[in-house]
Amino acid sequence: MQVRAALLLKTQQPFHIEQLELEEPHQHEVRVRIRASGVCHSDYHLQSGSTKHPLPLVPGHEGAGVVEAVGPGVSRVKPGDHVVLSWAPACRQCFYCRKGSPNLCDTFVKPLWAGVMPEGTPRFAYQGRPVFQYCGLGSFAERTVVREESCIPIARDVPLDIAALVGCAVSTGVGAALRTARVEAGASAVVLGCGGVGLNIVQGLRMAGATTILAVDKLGSKEDLARKLGATDFLQAGDHLLEAIRERTGGRGADYAFEAVGTPALQRLAFDACRPGGTAVLAGLAPMGSASDLPGSRITREEKTVMGSYYGSVDAERDFPWLLDRYREGVLELDSLISGRFALGQINEAYAAMLTGTVARSLVVFAADPS
């Protein structure tokens, strides 16, 4: 079958929109008609080359759509099901899944992070050459073929463009507060970075009942949305930021400091911005190979905890539907997170807008019935 998709042929180049060949689903695989796919920094890291990946590649890992066809042996979904795609599919059988950390499942990590299905090949091809699919997904395509474990069924009454956000930014952010750090009611917290992940950490803190939620961003224009989502205070990054954070957190620092960008300097700031006995949560995905300078001597003496949060420590099967239930109840705000909707042919504009730092989340949306 022919499908239109965004294709990354070489790093440092724009995405190209091309017709690709898509194979039928193999055993335990599912063809999904994509309805929306979020514009996330991780795909930009592929384009810039800071994430190394075999090319050519179909990017996109924050997708939602409708199951169109299933291969042999598929038991988890059926045609017509609405699904959010998970970029960390869980086998439910490995050491990590049995330990209750399905976000760390290692069954599919090697092939899917290499852009292929577990038996070693991708399902897209361009001019006779195989085309890899990011995270085993490749959701910047009208249709894709993924593992059944990557498909999380959701209720049909949630719009699929809203639901797509749960596939990465919302889970990563809300999960960091509720699942990784398990922030308690009455806590104080600072959130460094108000992009798609940081704004959702703010929401997660509000849901946890944190009473001081200090949001920080380099752009003052993020203040209104941060406050709408739950921030009780806002600081624009600048000189003397650490002092300004401490001034607003009893002179000690916050109980929790979340880093939501993925830069070594902000990771260090998160460490300094939490009080003695507090917790720094590193939720932004820093480029592979980067390192931050966290002082071991102070970690001991000040009894600070440094936590990594990967995909918000969520159990996608449990938490994607749970998050969408909270959306339905009006507890989780998703509509105002969407700053813009772009057609597939405008994907490079969508990434340019993301890089300005002014948007919360943009979506590439697909027609309900692409020809």
**139 vs 279, beta carbon nearer Zn ion:** 139
Q: How far apart are CA 353 and CA 360, in angstroms?
A: 10
Which range, of 151-159, 164-172, 215-223, 305-313, touches Zn ion by CB under 5 A? 164-172
Q: How far apart are CA 312 and CA 174, in angstroms?
A: 7
Neighbouring CB atoms inside 10 A of 12's CB total: 7
User: Of 117, 160, 168, 260, which lies in the binding site for Zn ion, with binding defined by CB under 5 A?
Assistant: 168
User: Of 107, 188, 212, 313, which lies in the binding site for Zn ion, with binding defined by CB under 5 A?
Assistant: 107
To Zn ion, the closest distance from the beta carbon of 42 in angstroms equals 4
Q: How far apart are CA 229 and CA 234, in angstroms?
A: 12
If you write DSSP's letter for every residue of 351-366 in order, what string do you get? HHHHHTT--SEEEEE-
**83 vs 214, beta carbon nearer Zn ion:** 83
97 binds Zn ion, rule: CB under 5 A: yes
Residue 46 CB contacts under 8 Å (≥ 6 apart), including other chains:
8, 11, 53, 57, 59, 134
**168 vs 360, beta carbon nearer Zn ion:** 168
Q: How far apart are CA 33 and CA 160, in angstroms?
A: 11
42 binds Zn ion, rule: CB under 5 A: yes
Residues numbered 230-249 forming contacts with Zn ion, rule: CB under 5 A: none
Which residue, among 24, 13, 18, has the nearest Cα to 3 in the 3D structure?
18
Which range, of 73-81, 95-103, 124-132, 134-142, touches Zn ion by CB under 5 A? 95-103
To Zn ion, the closest distance from the beta carbon of 169 in angstroms equals 6
179 close to 312: Cβ distance less than 8 angstroms: yes
105 binds Zn ion, rule: CB under 5 A: yes
40 binds Zn ion, rule: CB under 5 A: yes
Q: How far apart are CA 358 and CA 256, in angstroms?
A: 25
261 binds Zn ion, rule: CB under 5 A: no
**Interface characters, 75-94, with Zn ion (x: CB under 5 A):** ----------------x--x
- Enumerate binding residues for Zn ion (CB under 5 A): 40, 42, 91, 94, 97, 105, 107, 168
